[in-house]
Each structure stands twice: as structure tokens, then as C-alpha cells.
Amino acid sequence: NAGVTQTPKFQVLKTGQSMTLQCAQDMNHEYMSWYRQDPGMGLRLIHYSVGAGITDQGEVPNGYNVSRSTTEDFPLRLLSAAPSQTSVYFCASSPPRQGKNYGYTFGSGTRLTVV
């Protein structure tokens, strides 16, 4: 059982480049989300999806795009990378909120550096 898989684990980008962070889950979870973790800031929600074809913005959505064409995948796109997007990115998934096990399952993260 792989859980939540994020690729790549590490990435260095030049300012202005674009890239896609991949996230896949094999637990048939309806809910998926992207967070970024910065020192002293905790985890901040970028975008989330409550099911295939449905996405919404979180706290810090600017500079990022998402789509959800399947239940399993939720990629995060950086349109034009900026140094302020240097961070560790985590993808998470969850069953429906009413379920007993509401805690999110997180991937192991992608460490992104923009130079």
C-alpha cells in the first residue's frame, strides 16, 4: 500500500521556469490538498480538491495551478517560479470528512529551491 506518493523529492528551478509537482494516492480518497511548509509558518494550504473535477483555493494560491481529472492524481503546477516559492511542498489526502478516520495522509514532500 503506497499511500500518497510525491515526485520529485528534490528540485532546483531557475526563476521564471515552470514545473509540475506530482501527487498520486491509491486509497481512493476523495479529498486531496497541497500545502507548503516554511520555517516559522507551519503548513499553509495552497489548493484543495473534494473530488475529481472540483478544485478550490486555499490560503496561498497565487502562482500555483491545480487540476483533478482523476481520483488518484492531483498535480500542482508552478507557472513561473519565483524565489519566494522556495519551500517544502506536501500533498495530502483524506476520506470524506464524516468518516471515522479523518486525519490526512501526507506524502513525504518535495523540496523545491528556486534560484
User: From CA 64, how far away is CA 79, in angstroms rounded?
Assistant: 6
Least distance to other proteins, CB of residue 11, Å: 15
Q: Show the cell assigned to 65.
A: 495551478
By CB under 8 A, residue 40 contacts other proteins = yes
Interacting stretch for other proteins, rule CB under 8 A, among 15-23, 60-68, 79-87, 95-103? 95-103
Give the per-residue contact string, 52-71, with other proteins (x = CB under 8 A; - = no).
Answer: ------xx------------
Sign of the C-alpha dihedral computed for residues 102, 93, 68 and 61 taken in this order: positive
Cα angle: 15, vertex 17, 23; to 5 degrees: 115
Nearer residue to other proteins within complex by CB, 17 or 43: 43
